[in-house]
A and B are shown apart, each in its own frame.
Chain A
Amino acid sequence: MLDVQLGEVLAGGPEGADEALDLVAGFDDALTLGLARVGEDAAAALSALAGALAASPIGDRVSEAADKVATGSIAGEHLAALAGGRAALCGAVHDALLGRLDTALGRPRTPWNPAPGAPRPDRPLGGQAASGDPRDGQEARSGDSPGGQEAGSGDGVPVQVPGHLLDGCRMWLRELAIVGWRGVDHDLAGAADQAIEALLAVPELRGLAVLLDGLAAELRASSPVATMDRLPARRWADLWTRGLLLAQRGPWHGGAEPVSGRLLILGADVHEHATVVRAQVHGVLEPTRGGQARLVRTSVAAAKVDTIVGPAVWRLMGAHPVLLGALAGHRSLEITDMPLLPGGDLVWHDDRAAAGEPADPFTTARVALPGVSAPAVPPLDRHPVRIAEPVLLEGYSVVDGSLDLSPAGGGHALPLGLDRLPRGGPLTPELVAASSACIGLMRWDGRWVLQPLAVQATVKKKPVAAHNGDWAMGPTDPKVVKAEAKAGDVVAVLRERAGRLLRK
């Protein structure tokens, strides 16, 4: 990316984005205080949200929901409609931001057009999430399908989701909305524990499980919330919204097509809370049958506990040695008939992959990245937080935690997301500051930020490279190896305890 391109990205917020986010903030304030007694401000915020969506397919339902909730009638279908309205606004902001980034980068993006056989959650939206219906008919149907509910599995095969599990989740989310974040105490924070435990046993509902588990842990750590000075209103409302949408009929991904070809790795983005860790690998897929190279993501998530942190988390993903080996060893991967979802997610199957030739991610970023086509984003996944677009930056200077891409300095400043460097990798703020080339993800959270995935730097006059995934097969830094050895194998200790105590 060049300084002029960065200038295009940073030049003011996209038109309408601030207004849309103000509407979202109004809703978030209402959720903070609770819907049990909707005051004047909250009622105005709900009706403003509905007003902005009036011309969209869900306009009538959001408007009805805003009216009902303001008068104290808080049915599940009304909450779902409001969540859908809030998601549509966030989706519109996402589209505007991503569109601007794509234009600046000159990166073509496939329009949303799910393959036949997708579990038809969301009809094509013509690129405008604001006009979108989150789940056609979902609100009307929720709660009256006792048997099971159809959802998408990673492989695109519809599966039956036990409806009663989702009922429990919706009840908890409704209770949270009624009392508001300010009314949450230890009892309510922990009230979903059993539901979450049951969700974790259903592979198709893992996304909802990790989301609710993360939210519950934050609420528990913050309880009683009434005593907090400030609270993460946007964040919790985001999680509440997505949780409620997922708890209607389960997840919406599906419509996979099998792909074969060469996968060139760009880098690994690591996600984590107390009970989950996930490595999401960004790469360029060169299909065997030819055609344009495609930007893809592929992920491995493993359940964990809070005391497994740092480099040890990679051991939890040991069942995927081909992927982890390629990540640590900087190799390409040959994949055969791997399911690729319409959103650009390759559903990883380690037994359908083989290690290929050595492939330096920086070479991939220089040679292959400029010509890629980016995938469409599934409508219900459109939210600024999901924007994670790989870019290569070179020849910059680092000043006060920001990158300056202009050759002479004094250009546009792109802040670095140094708080996102994973504990299980070799990247440090110092290395980033000393770097001259960086593969990173463009992210947006109120402003654009670059999250580094890999850097090339000069340390003690020697060129070094460090990648987030370098320790996927174990740390390579002798100091870290020693510290790990001293602490012992925490994963093995807990597995031994689990083996001895759980099956008694």
Chain B
Amino acid sequence: MNADETAWERRSVVPVVPPVAPRKLAKVPFVELADGRLQGVVSSGSDIERVYVSSITAGTHALSCSTNNNRPCGALHGHACKHIRMLADEAVVQYGLDRVARYLRVEVPAGDSLMSCIHGQPERTPAAVVFSRFLRHLAYLEVADSTDPLAELHWFPSTAPYKEVAR
């Protein structure tokens, strides 16, 4: 191990989680790379009460889409529905193509889009787990502010100027 790496390992403040880029949330409020899938929640274009839970599995690239009530998406047969496409597009904005492709274990030649390289088959995966993770995500917005000193936050400085990560 060289001196730079030793110095890095001996620092209290180093970035570990790459920051995500800002994106519009109206259509795809939730995207995550978790549980071996790119998964997320897509708002229905027609019914404000309904959302779709969509995912692409890492490795097999199996596709899944259903409503939060576990009713299968009518548009998913043989190829990806628009919900999965929107999910993939927003994931690329949020995390960058490299990170998403690496997670899904897919080679995306320069100039190609992620979805042009995904050829998995539809598969039912339970929507409930992802949906409950989305609800947990939303629940953060209900947590009250704190004006306590919270000295622990000195380990978590804000990172990177705005323009470096803006779209």
Contact = CB atoms under 8 A, between A and B. Distances in A.
Interface stretch (B17-25, B81-89, B117-125): B17-25
B83 to A, nearest CB: 16
A269 B149 CA distance: 13
B158 A423 contact: yes
Nearest to A246: B152
B124 to A, nearest CB: 22
Interface stretch (B8-16, B58-66, B72-80, B104-112): B8-16
Nearest to B14: A232
A498 B29 CA distance: 10
A154 B155 contact: no
Interface in B97-153: 134-153
Contacts of B137: 305
A206 B147 CA distance: 10
Contacts, number: 239
Contact of B154 (A347, A386, A502): A386
B20 A423 contact: no
Contact of B150 (A207, A239, A423, A490): A207
A301 B145 CA distance: 6
B144 to A, nearest CB: 6
A385 B143 CA distance: 27
A222 B147 contact: no
Contacts of A385: 12-13, 154-155
A210 B151 CA distance: 11
Interface string A232-270: 111100110010001000010100000000000000011
A271 B1 CA distance: 31
A349 B12 CA distance: 31
B162 to A, nearest CB: 4
A311 B165 CA distance: 13
A302 interface: yes
A446 B17 contact: no
A238 B11 CA distance: 10
Contacts of B140: 200, 275, 303-305
Interface residues of B, number: 63
A319 B145 contact: yes
Given A235-B13, A271-B157, A310-B162, A494 B150 contact: no
Contact of B24 (A304, A422, A423, A488): A488
Contact of A494 (B12, B23, B138, B165): B138
Contact of A429 (B8, B19, B31, B161): B161
A349 B160 CA distance: 30
A284 interface: no
Interface size class of A (residues with CB under 8 A): 35 or more
A301 B18 CA distance: 21
B149 A271 contact: no
B12 A272 contact: no
A193 B133 CA distance: 11
B154 A210 contact: no
Nearest to A204: B148
A317 interface: yes
Nearest to A275: B140
A200 B150 CA distance: 13
Contacts of B29: 493-494, 497
Contact of A230 (B1, B17, B49): B1
A502 B158 contact: no
B96 to A, nearest CB: 14
B145 A388 contact: no
Given A206-B148, A221-B17, A320-B145, A487 B22 contact: yes
Contacts of B16: 218, 221-222, 232, 235
Q: Tell which of B12, B14, B167 has the most Cβ of chain A within 10 Å.
A: B12
Nearest to A243: B152
Q: Tell which of B141, B148, B161 has the most Cβ of chain A within 10 Å.
A: B148
A438 to B, nearest CB: 16
A232 B14 CA distance: 7
Nearest to A190: B34
B11 A239 contact: no
B9 A502 contact: no
Contact of A488 (B25, B94, B141, B150): B25
A309 interface: yes
A446 B143 contact: no
Given A154-B147, A501-B138, 19 more contacts: A207-B151, A207-B152, A232-B9, A232-B16, A233-B10, A251-B148, A270-B157, A301-B146, A305-B141, A309-B22, A310-B162, A381-B149, A428-B163, A483-B167, A488-B25, A491-B141, A493-B29, A497-B43, A502-B142
16 contacts: A154-B146, A203-B144, A235-B13, A271-B157, A276-B153, A301-B148, A309-B20, A311-B162, A347-B148, A420-B157, A424-B162, A445-B11, A488-B25, A488-B26, A497-B43, A502-B138
The 4 closest A-B pairs by CB, nearest first: A303-B143, A422-B158, A271-B153, A345-B149
